Amino acid sequence: MVAAILLTLMVSACSAETPETPESDGSDQGDFKQWKLPKRLREISGLALTPDERLLAVADEKAIVYELDYQEGKIIKSFAFGDPPVRADFEGIAVLGDTVWLMTSDGLLFAATEGADGRSVPYQKYDTDHGDYCELEGLAQDRATTTLLLVCKQTKSKHDDLMIFEWSASIDGIEHNRDVAVPEALIIGIVDKKRISPSGIAVDPQTGERVLVAARQGVLVRLTADGVLSEAILLKKKGRHKQAEGIEMTRDGRLLIADEGGDGRARLAVYSAPPGIQNNE
């Protein structure tokens, strides 16, 4: 780790400020609560839970990772990949063991050990080459198989299938396992959309299912590990999900969704149980 004063000042822009009071956006309906996050988090492009279920998030322009208290809507700490922080179009975050992974839209993976508040950490970088096939937006960890899941937002050719790419991963390297096609035609037939553009992916720790969110279409999708469609529903957008970019699921079944905020502040929603068709009409 690098503890230089300059870096501390830079990451302080994300950590050592006077604490901001978290705000509820007024959405507290028993099974659902949504927080307006502090102003320095304008957008969250990915969420990931650590093995002990602490929530990490990454924004989209710098490799700065935030730990969030999803019970109170607070930032607990932040640390950076590199000194100065790496700049790129970051679109996902995952955690396997004690390694934090970040993904860019063109398929680069950055791996580092979690850092202390206000610090930087050294990192490793790997190129999956998937950026030649599609724009990527969504990274998740499958702890049962020690794999990373990278999901396509849109392909370079409209004739190609959306894919979930699976990689075995450790801090020492990555190995491509397999590609799983997303059944886009089935999904759009159920939710009455022209296409699906996934913006986040998570693994349900109870079932192993892949849970995708598509911000543009306001859709939540469940797939088996082999890509068989389990469910596709429309999320309630009015007053809830303007642009859902990050998604995670806790071991006790809570669903976490991060949205870009229209007023410049990201939002973090907590469902005590995943939404279903009956409460999204």
- Residue 114 tokens, joined: 């979690």
Residue 119 lies in a domain: yes
- Residue 91 tokens, joined: 């679109």
Q: Are 218 and 234 in contact (CB under 8 A)?
A: yes
Residue 42 lies in a domain: yes
Q: Which residue has the higher pLDDT, 193 or 31?
A: 193
DSSP state of 110: E
Residue 29 lies in a domain: no
pLDDT at 141 over 90: yes
Cut 0.85: pTM above it: yes
Task: Find out whether the peptide bond into 84 is cis, omega within 30 degrees of 0.
Answer: yes
Q: Are 249 and 55 in contact (CB under 8 A)?
A: no
- In this structure, what CATH number is given to the domain that contains residue 228? 2.120.10.30
Residues 6+ apart with CB under 8 A from 17: 40
Residue 33 lies in a domain: no
Residue 174 lies in a domain: yes
Residue 152 lies in a domain: yes
**Structure confidence by residue, pLDDT tens digits, 23-78:** 544 455 568 999 998 888 888 999 999 999 999 999 888 999 999 999 999 999 99
When divided into structural domains, the chain yields a total of 1
Domain residues for the domain of 219 are 38-274
Residue 10 lies in a domain: no
**5-13 contacts, C-beta under 8 A, 24 or more apart:** 6/83, 7/80, 7/83, 7/84, 7/119, 7/120, 8/118, 8/119, 10/80, 10/84, 10/85, 11/64, 11/78, 11/79, 11/80, 11/85, 11/118, 11/119, 11/120, 12/118, 13/40
Q: Is 82 left (phi over 0), alpha (psi -120 to 50) or beta?
A: left
**Structure confidence by residue, pLDDT tens digits, 67-116:** 999 999 999 999 999 999 999 999 999 999 999 999 999 999 999 999 99
Structure confidence at residue 276 as a pLDDT band (50, 70, 90):
low
Structure confidence at residue 17 as a pLDDT band (50, 70, 90):
very low
Range name among 188-202, 242-256, 261-275 with the lowest pLDDT average: 261-275
- Report how far residue 236's alpha carbon sits from residue 242's, in angstroms, rounded to the nearest whole number: 9
Residue 118 lies in a domain: yes
Say how far residue 36 (Cα) sits from the centre of its chain. Answer: 17
**Structure confidence by residue, pLDDT tens digits, 233-259:** 998 766 788 889 999 999 999 999 999
